[in-house]
Amino acid sequence: RRALMKSMGFGDQDLEKPLVPVANTWNEILPGAYHFNRIGEAVKRGIQ
């Protein structure tokens, strides 16, 4: 797994941190879910 993460640009310090996946149901088709992309990005920034 480390080799894959390193190939994606993660450094040694990044690999010491816990891995916290963020999933959301954002899509461009349903207007009611359109704002989920902004929320998901904010959650990811908060975790970093």
pLDDT, tens digit, 9 for 90 and up, residues 1-48: 889 999 999 999 999 999 899 998 888 888 888 899 999 999 999 998
The pTM (predicted TM-score) of the whole model is 0.62
Long-range contact list for 39-42, CB < 8 A, 24+ apart?
Answer: none
Q: What is the pLDDT, as a whole number, of residue 13?
A: 93
Angle at 21 between CA 3 and CA 41, to 5 degrees: 115
CA 7 to chain centre: 17
Q: Three-state SS for 18?
A: coil
Q: What is the pLDDT, as a whole number, of residue 1?
A: 81
